[in-house]
Structure 1
Amino acid sequence: MTTANTTATCEVCGNQYDMAFEVRAQGATHVFDSFECAIHALAPVCEHCKCRIIGHGVQAGGQFFCCAHCARQAAGTEAIRDRV
């Protein structure tokens, strides 16, 4: 963790920043200078359109998708619907 007198280095962009923050995920600690870098490093990728999933997303057949449309296109799962 950083203090007012130290800087940490973002593991994505390499920026040294006195307000960097840590994220602990799946037993590992990561250091970032922005949410943008944290998302780039940690967010899952949609199996169909390859965008970063930063919302709820959906799962079908053990895969992650950004939306029901992508799940239907890739997994052929017609039963998946986005909330209305």
Structure 2
Amino acid sequence: MDTCTTCGNSYDKAFTVVTHDGREHIFDSIECAAERIAPRCAHCNCRILGHGVEADSSNYCCASCARAGGLTEIRDRA
């Protein structure tokens, strides 16, 4: 059994995620994976689980948060 990188739980159905920089993480759930590797919104601090918005070296969960962060040109829809 592998041990989850985030919570330390030993689980026989754990899975491994290799990040873009080559680091390996073992998780027992998607929740633990998200907690460890999903970026946080620069405005509201929530976990970004979808596409989000990346601008000026910051990540935002949505256009509203990007605008609140000073990026006035960001829109949800064109």
Tell me the TM-score normalised to structure 1 length.
Answer: 0.87
Match of 1:38 in 2: 33
Alpha-carbon distance in 2 for matches of 1:41, 1:67: 20
Match of 1:82 in 2: 76
Match of 1:24 in 2: 18
Q: Which runs of 4+ in 1 moved over 4 A?
A: none
Match of 2:5 in 1: 11
Q: How far apart are residue 78 of structure 1 and its match?
A: 1.5
Amino acid at match of 2:64: H
Percent identical among aligned pairs is 55
Alpha-carbon distance in 2 for matches of 1:77, 1:18: 45
What are structure 2's unaligned runs of at least 5 residues? Answer: none
Amino acid at match of 2:72: E
Tell me the TM-score normalised to structure 2 length.
Answer: 0.93
- Superposed counterparts of 1:43-82, under 5 Å: 43-74=38-69, 76-82=70-76
What are structure 1's unaligned runs of at least 5 residues? Answer: 1-6
| RMSD (Å), alpha carbons | 1.1
